[in-house]
Chain A
Amino acid sequence: ETGVTQTPRHLVMGMTNKKSLKCEQHLGHNAMYWYKQSAKKPLELMFVYSLEERVENNSVPSRFSPECPNSSHLFLHLHTLQPEDSALYLCASSQAPAGSLFGYTFGSGTRLTVV
């Protein structure tokens, strides 16, 4: 496999459930990102990991918990979500630091619906 792979593609969960989103990159990049994409809104940066260390947390509620066990894998753990958290969650990678100027590579996203 090449590029950035996200699983699952679709997820429906209740507000009391716990689930995880997975992202895997096969590009040899060393920075990974979680973005949230809602209708009529710009992509919102949630978390940045560079060299497996979290370098940015954009005031994201604690019900979202990221994990980066190595430079190829990124997880987003979800618990007690709200309906307004329903969105497309995108993972991206780049070669930090200057390499991000060559553009991020995005996965296809996980479409999350909270019921």
Chain B
Amino acid sequence: EDQVTQSPEALRLQEGESSSLNCSYTVSGLRGLFWYRQDPGKGPEFLFTLYSAGEEKEKERLKATLTKKESFLHITAPKPEDSATYLCAVQGYQGGSEKLVFGKGTKLTVNP
């Protein structure tokens, strides 16, 4: 069964203090690993898809990396507007299933 574990559960940073969020996964054949951002009272917003180990993607202050066992979301010089819950999800080869399996998320708070 596909599983996703995210750590830490919550993270508080000062503005400008860079850090990383972790997503460990087990999946029977990885089709894709996804990062989403979720603001309170809203649905998750798509950030990145990573397909294979060694791949990296960047968007503004965010950079996602992927190994065979985990993914990191690096946040460089964060700003208060980066405060949100960040969700990781994987899609595996399960008979062509389209479903994503999500982790519990990391709640990031960036203080000014």
Write the residues of chain A forming the contact surface with B, with a CB cutoff of 8 angstroms: 4, 6, 31, 33, 40-43, 45, 48, 50, 55-56, 90, 92, 94, 96-97, 100-109, 111
Assess the A101–B104 pair: CB atoms within 8 A. Answer: no
Partner of B96, one of A6, A92, A97, A103: A97
Residue A108 contacts which of B36, B42, B96 (CB distance < 8 angstroms)? Answer: B42
Contact bitstring B83-112, A, C-beta under 8 A = 1, else 0: 000010101000011111111110000000
What total of A-B pairs shows CB separation below 8 Å? 66
Asked if A100 contacts B42 (CB within 8 A), the reply is no
Residues of B within 8 A of A (CB): 4, 31-32, 34, 36, 41-46, 49, 51, 87, 89, 91, 96-105
Residues in A neighbouring B43, C-beta threshold 8 A? 4, 6, 90, 92, 106-109
Taken together as a complex, chains A and B put the C-alpha atoms of A102 and B36 apart, in Å, by 12
Q: Nearest chain B CB to A47's CB is how many angstroms away?
A: 10
Q: By the criterion CB–CB under 8 Å, are B104 and A41 in contact?
A: yes
Minimum CB distance partner of A111 in chain B: B41
In the bound complex, CA of A63 to CA of B1 (Å): 26
Q: Output the nearest chain B residue to A39 by Cβ-Cβ distance.
A: B104
A45 CA / B102 CA spacing, docked (Å):
9
> Could you list some 27 contacts between A and B, CB below 8 A?
A6-B43, A31-B98, A40-B104, A42-B101, A42-B105, A43-B87, A45-B100, A48-B98, A48-B99, A55-B98, A56-B97, A56-B99, A90-B43, A90-B44, A92-B43, A94-B98, A97-B98, A100-B98, A101-B49, A101-B51, A102-B46, A102-B49, A103-B34, A104-B100, A106-B45, A107-B43, A109-B42
